[in-house]
Structure 1
């Protein structure tokens, strides 16, 4: 449902004739309307062309959480150089999402969708062969651009093909995106364990190619546009992309350069603020802006967009911290990291199905508040993790957290569409689509910075108190040396070195887990703030437009 894709879907029209009940049917038999489930099953080819790609788009959002840990070392890189890969991925996604309105208006939704799958497949294949971080960054940018095109057209395609069942389309969209996100780390751990990190991109390239062939054959062609596409806000797109580039530099370089006195930091920060101000001005003055910011005057839309941004930011941050905690800090086997998250996959699947079946407008706010309470309590419990927390406990808390996220997934998508007319839903698409990528990147980047600063501060505290703790540290080091000598047969000199390495790693791991505790504490505060904000959602009048279910 990319920028202006709602308008494009309406212009492209549907390609299947439907019999509509009409009082003046001239005595012709009226075809009774079919249930949403039967209508979906009656067009299996279309469903198979759209739903798997929707799952793939969701999976891609978190599929590289674990592999990136190993890519850095296997490409002889470092985390600062690899951050350009992450930044290029974000820029590619923004370009794909923001440009879909222009593309769909000129080549149609079907071709736009197929182009997205082509770019995704080509980018995945190139990433699997990348010899270094620079080629990998380019490949990931192309892959992310294609993923952005796919993710922002699937809902518009569902609505175009099944116009009588838009609510079910929203439910399918919510399930595909959020199920894919929670399943991504577990799938990647299985792939990495059985081969290496490149197998993740082999798999996504193969899945993209299969999806492309199925969509090519199954999706009906677009009908001719009723009216030519209007002017596109290329100036707004350029300003947005330039601002995102400044955002990427800020998230990944300010911590390295210094926050207050580095000239580079001041220049990039000033440029970013100027670009943001120019972009906002452009959106209020352009005849057909890239983002219709006036919609933020509508209560439910503004609340829905902000609440969803906060929830998505928390989702990506929690999942990223948990993956790093298990794979790096605790040094779990790769397959064990994925196995710990499997209960979370099952729990979210259950609540996504539950809310799709029983969710209505009347209970939407209650489900949102209950889910936020669950997210808050689970995130708060994660502040207790340490170097000795059992896998079973982590898996249980992660499952409760994922179940709570599943409860809020459908409500946050629907709330932003409540009380909006069809043309307003179309013009709001770009804002909601950018919410698929920007909140996670911003929240994840800020939490990573806060975690790093907290870990460094705690490590400095341990280092500065070494004189006070010299006696117990010496006793521990002597005990380790004796144990290594007896059990491994090492020479005294080698045993001393190995004992020092073990002790240093323990201290660094303690600092890292303290940083994770701090990050989960901040995320708990954000979750509480999201709950408070959701309490102010107003009740809609019965006749208000918008989704009735979900």
Structure 2
């Protein structure tokens, strides 16, 4: 690999590792944040969802802005935002400030994550691109696997604020290297869709606000019902606007393909079920299982690290079984894993009883993402593979966002954090709900059309990369 390409790999790899590490590093700190800032489940949900919401809705606009104004320039802006927001989160005196800082972090992450792959692909010759992309994937996987451990260790031996402080020197280092190590590049100039961005942001905010506050304030209370109604109206307005504007943020013509639509719904359902569970389960291990933050991180490795081992096998399985059967099998592995956890979970659970469930869920995640990406791109027109990949990334983020909010509502309706039995009852119901969603997603693969060579897209432009780890939740 040429020196310039190697330097680009170093800078983008460090930035990607920082963003992916931050996805899971927060989860093990949530109990400490809850105690220190005196917040409840709603505040913790927004600590996660503020990041995911801005990440999801700004992915596509950020990519368009980078193509127009310069990828290296926007990469540095995103990195600066992420770094400053990390410092603000570390200094947060209350939960409101922390949530605001997390939202800005999500903005920085939405800019950074796709550009790490775009800049790398532009710097590396086609003959070496496969090796460079493999290294990119390894950095993402390492961030996922180490996130819970690093977060647990930092929270246990320092304070939760340091899970954000560690981003500051890393961000400053990369900001110093980027002007010398990265080459400026641009893509085809694209028209922006500011109205569409505002409509989907406010619409999702209203829906999530209603889901988060429903149990505490009453599902028919004016603030909850009003938030849901306004959110749905704004989302409907977003769809109408996207259908009429000549330069949509989300080209609805892509969804004329039944295969593309179904695969994105399956993608969303998978993240809804799996990643919505993680938010509560890791807290359960610490608060009811009396595990330290580090211990909880280490003991979730059978879940978070398993995809690194399994993902390389998906190509062989896809050749032998076909793409759709592998996706269905992956979803069933996840559903069975969560069902196992639901059966075994209790206030007096044994960790050894949970390990098979963690392993099954991790295997399912490792098998899921590579074939799903292939099908999503395969059902898109060759000229729109970059946008199609971006839509797939957004569907994952929306699945996580809605999963944390909706499954948090299920937990609040069936349990609470006041005593171990109530906590176990709530998490068990959440696990069964998520397993049902994943089973339904597995069955829906039967309706996905067969992908034939004539419908397989050959990318003609740089794809928008997966902005978050393909094997872990964005929490």
Under TM normalisation by the shorter chain, which class is it?
A: 0.7 to 0.9
1:193 to 156, 169, 182: 156
1:136 counterpart SS class: helix
Using the size of structure 2 for normalisation, the TM-score is 0.87
1-side partners of 2:134 and 2:253: how far apart? Answer: 27
2-side partners of 1:82 and 1:401: how far apart? Answer: 24
Instruction: Write out per-residue CA displacement over residues 434-472 of structure 1, whole angstroms, 9 at most, x where no aligned residue.
Output: 22421101012111111121116xx9xxxxxxxxxxxxx
Instruction: Write out per-residue CA displacement over residues 138-174 of structure 1, whole angstroms, 9 at most, x where no aligned residue.
Output: 2212111101111232333344344737777776666
Aligned pairs for 1:395-544 within 5 A: 395-455=355-415, 508-544=419-455
Please say if residues 88 and 138 of structure 1, whose CA atoms lie closer than 8 Å, have aligned partners that are also in contact. yes
In the other structure, the counterpart of 1:274 is 233
Cα 1:326–1:83 change in 2 (3 A) is closer
2:204 to 244, 247, 257: 244
Shift of 1:297: 1.1
Gapped regions of structure 2 (runs ≥ 5): 460-469, 471-475
Shift of 1:416: 0.9
In the other structure, the counterpart of 1:351 is 310
2-side partners of 1:395 and 1:434: how far apart? Answer: 31
2:105 to 143, 168, 173: 143
1-side partners of 2:57 and 2:262: how far apart? Answer: 25
Cα 1:235–1:45 change in 2 (3 A) is same
The question of 1:90 aligning with 2:46 is answered: no
Cα 1:315–1:398 change in 2 (3 A) is same
The question of 1:341 aligning with 2:304 is answered: no
In the other structure, the counterpart of 1:213 is 176
In the other structure, the counterpart of 2:473 is none
Using the size of structure 1 for normalisation, the TM-score is 0.76
Shift of 1:281: 0.3
* Aligned CA-pair RMSD: 2.9
In the other structure, the counterpart of 1:113 is 75
1-side partners of 2:382 and 2:272: how far apart? Answer: 28
Instruction: Write out per-residue CA displacement over residues 255-314 of structure 1, whole angstroms, 9 at most, x where no aligned residue.
Output: 222112x12223222211211111110000001011011211113321221111111222
2:11 counterpart SS class: helix
1-side partners of 2:434 and 2:443: how far apart? Answer: 14
The question of 1:47 aligning with 2:25 is answered: no
Shift of 1:43: 2.7
Cα 1:406–1:83 change in 2 (3 A) is closer
Instruction: Write out per-residue CA displacement over residues 83-104 of structure 1, whole angstroms, 9 at most, x where no aligned residue.
Output: 5444432343245324314421
Shift of 1:388: 2.4
Please say if residues 383 and 521 of structure 1, whose CA atoms lie closer than 8 Å, have aligned partners that are also in contact. yes
Cα 1:264–1:521 change in 2 (3 A) is same
In the other structure, the counterpart of 1:16 is none
2-side partners of 1:106 and 1:42: how far apart? Answer: 23
Cα 1:139–1:187 change in 2 (3 A) is same
Instruction: Write out per-residue CA displacement over residues 197-240 of structure 1, whole angstroms, 9 at most, x where no aligned residue.
Output: 011001222333333334433222216x6x6x343211111111
Shift of 1:405: 0.6
Aligned residues, how many? 458
In the other structure, the counterpart of 2:342 is 383
| Further displaced range: 271-280 or 201-210 | 201-210
In the other structure, the counterpart of 1:154 is 116
2-side partners of 1:41 and 1:380: how far apart? Answer: 50
The question of 1:65 aligning with 2:27 is answered: yes
1-side partners of 2:152 and 2:160: how far apart? Answer: 9
Shift of 1:254: 2.1
1:373 to 332, 337, 355: 332
Cα 1:299–1:167 change in 2 (3 A) is farther
